[in-house]
Chains A and B, each alone.
Chain A
Amino acid sequence: NAGVTQTPKFRILKIGQSMTLQCTQDMNHNYMYWYRQDPGMGLKLIYYSVGAGITDKGEVPNGYNVSRSTTEDFPLRLELAAPSQTSVYFCASRPEGGTDTQYFGPGTRLTVL
Chain B
Amino acid sequence: AQSVTQLGSHVSVSEGALVLLRCNYSSSVPPYLFWYVQYPNQGLQLLLKYTTGATLVKGINGFEAEFKKSETSFHLTKPSAHMSDAAEYFCAVSELGGSYIPTFGRGTSLIVHP
CB contacts under 8 Å to A, within B28-76, are 32, 34, 36, 41-46, 49, 51
Chain B interface size, under 10 / 10 to 19 / 20 to 34 / 35 or more? 20 to 34
What band does the interface of chain A fall in when counting residues whose beta carbon is under 8 Å from B? 20 to 34
Known contacts A43-B90, A97-B98, A99-B94; decide if A107 and B42 are in contact (CB<8 Å). Answer: yes
Q: Determine chain B's interface SS by DSSP, over half rule.
A: loop
Cβ of B9 within 8 Å of any chain A Cβ, yes or no, is yes
- Cβ B46 vs Cβ A101 within 8 A: yes
A102 at the interface (CB under 8 A from B): yes
A94 to B32, CA, bound (A): 14
Asked if B104 is at the interface of the complex by the 8 Å CB criterion, the answer is: yes
By the criterion CB–CB under 8 Å, are A99 and B43 in contact?
no
A96 to B44, alpha carbons, bound, how many Å? Answer: 18
A-B pair number, CB within 8 angstroms: 61
Query: B residues bordering A, Cβ < 8 Å?
Result: 9, 32, 34, 36, 41-46, 49, 51, 90, 94-96, 98-102, 104-107
> In the complex the two chains form, is B100's CB within 8 Å of A40's CB?
no
Known: A58-B101, A90-B44. 11 other contacts (CB 8 A): A33-B101, A42-B107, A43-B104, A48-B100, A92-B44, A98-B99, A98-B100, A99-B94, A102-B46, A104-B44, A105-B43
Task: Check A90–B43 contact: CB distance below 8 A.
Answer: yes
Give Cα A99–Cα B44 distance, bound, in whole angstroms: 17
